[in-house]
């Protein structure tokens, strides 16, 4: 959330510009999905993978898991910490991809709670 004109927690104009650019990218991706009636083929050398994932619904659905970015050698000493994505806008378990407000992700191996999280997240209880 961008906060403007408050004494505390003001968003900078630079952060507003970054947010506007991210939303423009999301809009472009959504339009390409609509126009092509299909999801894109993702470049594995540029698209992060979320392993041991599940969907958490804070106020909006997000992916939670171990996110590996291309070229990232991982945490020092083999330590990995769980992270979460920006709010999800597209999710396809069948094609193994998701689009957050910020970027595309490839979906790796699910966590043990993934199926339950999908069931809670879906409107009709179907996966």
Quick: pLDDT tens for 5-52: 655 556 677 777 888 888 899 999 999 999 999 999 999 999 998 888
Residue 125: what pLDDT? Answer: 42
How far the first Cα of the chain sits from its last, in Å, is 30
Tokens 């966590």 found at: 111
Residue 109: what pLDDT? Answer: 93
Identify the sign of the CA torsion 12, 18, 24, 27: negative
Domain layout of the chain by residue ranges: 1-38, 39-121
Model confidence pLDDT, tens digit, residues 73-127? 655 545 567 888 888 888 888 889 898 888 899 999 999 988 888 877 665 444 4
What b/e string do you get for 89-115 counting C-beta neighbours within 10 Å, with b at 16 or more?
A: bbbeeeeebbbbbbbbbbbbebbeebe
- 57 pLDDT band (50/70/90 cuts)? low
Tokens 């390409």 found at: 32
Residues 6 or more apart in contact with residue 71 via CB below 8 angstroms: none
């Amino acid at each position: 959330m961008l906060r403007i004109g408050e004494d505390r927690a003001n968003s900078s104009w630079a952060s507003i510009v970054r947010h506007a650019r991210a939303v423009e990218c999301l809009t472009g991706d959504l339009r390409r999905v609509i126009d092509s009636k299909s999801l894109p083929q993702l470049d594995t050398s540029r698209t992060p993978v979320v392993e041991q994932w599940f969907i958490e619904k804070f106020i909006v659905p997000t992916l939670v898991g171990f996110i590996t970015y291309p070229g990232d050698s991982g945490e020092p000493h083999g330590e990995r910490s769980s992270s979460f994505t920006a709010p999800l806008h597209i999710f396809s378990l069948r094609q193994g991809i998701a689009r957050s407000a910020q970027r595309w992700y490839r979906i790796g191996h699910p966590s043990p709670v993934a199926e339950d999280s999908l069931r809670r997240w879906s409107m009709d209880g179907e996966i």
